[in-house]
Amino acid sequence: MAYFAVMKCAVVLLLLLVSLGRAQAQTNDVDWGPMLNSAQQWAQENLDDDVLKALQTVDRKQVEGFLQHYQDYLRGDYVLDMAQLREAAQTILPLLDAHEETQPYAAWLRARLDYFEVADDLRVITPAPKPVPNQPTPPTPNPSFKTEEEVWVKKVAPRPWPKGAAEAVPKMKAIFASERVPEALVWLAEVESGFDARAESPAGAYGMFQLMPATAKSYGLSLWPFDERRQLDPATHAAGQHLRRLHGSFKDWRLTVAAYNCGEGTVRRLMQRYKTNSYERIATHLPAETQMYVPKVEATIQLREGLALEDLKVPATAQK
């Protein structure tokens, strides 16, 4: 396949994914049809037969549904809806992975495929509410944090260390210790990116720790001409500083991890609304991704370090 044809293929995919990232900050009521039709028409006019054949391996409706529902998922608070996106995500991933230009998006998506799988597991085991005579059946509630935690423990239990973790983890632990952050939290990088520094989200988060541009800049990282979010040392220092600051605000590691994922303001507003300092009390009201993220992080740290989030301690060397 010619280089420029591959580039054009990547452009189509990037337009779709970047549009998703931008729409998150605007509205849930996005009509993806015209955008996809326009991309399809452009592709037919500009791409060669090999590229068109590759694009056609992804069904248009699957792409449209994946983008729309994944957007809803990121902004919504209903976990079980994610189950319907499992097949679409698995279909899109190989196409993203096939081209160097879109592999950063593939790395980001690959680290999140198990969200769809766990949502499917939860859908099966979560009991539906009992019907009330002459009343519409209410929706099945979000599973509790404890239920999600149990599923995630089983999900991550058989996993070997990700590629690159053996080299990265010792360096990251030393940096986190220097930043007065529990060393076990370096396993956030497995959940965020699978230790793949190329990972890039449609919303613009980069690197192993998936730092957003504003967050990275606030901790002194440069985004140009070389993006330090993709460099182990500066990115790990920034992630450690960010976690330390969030924990200083929340005094609880589950709340801290939730805020790392969905933002300090979101967590703070829910704490105020429900008049609580407990993560479990607000868990089912958080964005769906965060509801998945926190128990996945905890299950991963339990697997790798034998520790629960609530048991994490600041490194002794940093307490002196």
Catalytic residue positions, numbered: 192
Provide the 10 A C-beta neighbour count for residue 12: 19
Give the integer Cα–Cα distance in Å for 188 and 185: 6
Query: Using an 8 Å Cβ cutoff, are 304 and 184 in contact?
Result: yes
Give which of 302, 248, 99 is closest to 312, Cα–Cα.
302
- Give whole-number Cα distances, 104 to 166, 190, 201, 205, 214, in Å: 21, 15, 8, 11, 20
Which residue intervals of 24-85 are DSSP H helices? 32-46, 49-55, 60-75
Asked whether the beta carbons of 64 and 26 are under 8 A apart, the reply is no
b/e map of 197-236 (b: 16 or more CB within 10 Å)?
bbbbbbbebbbbbbbeeebbeebebeeeeebbbbebebbb
Q: Exposed, middle or buried by CB within 10 Å (0-12, 13-18, 19+), for 9?
A: buried
Task: Count Cα atoms within 13 angstroms, Cβ side, for 123.
Answer: 15
Q: 20 and 64 in contact (C-beta within 8 Å)?
A: no
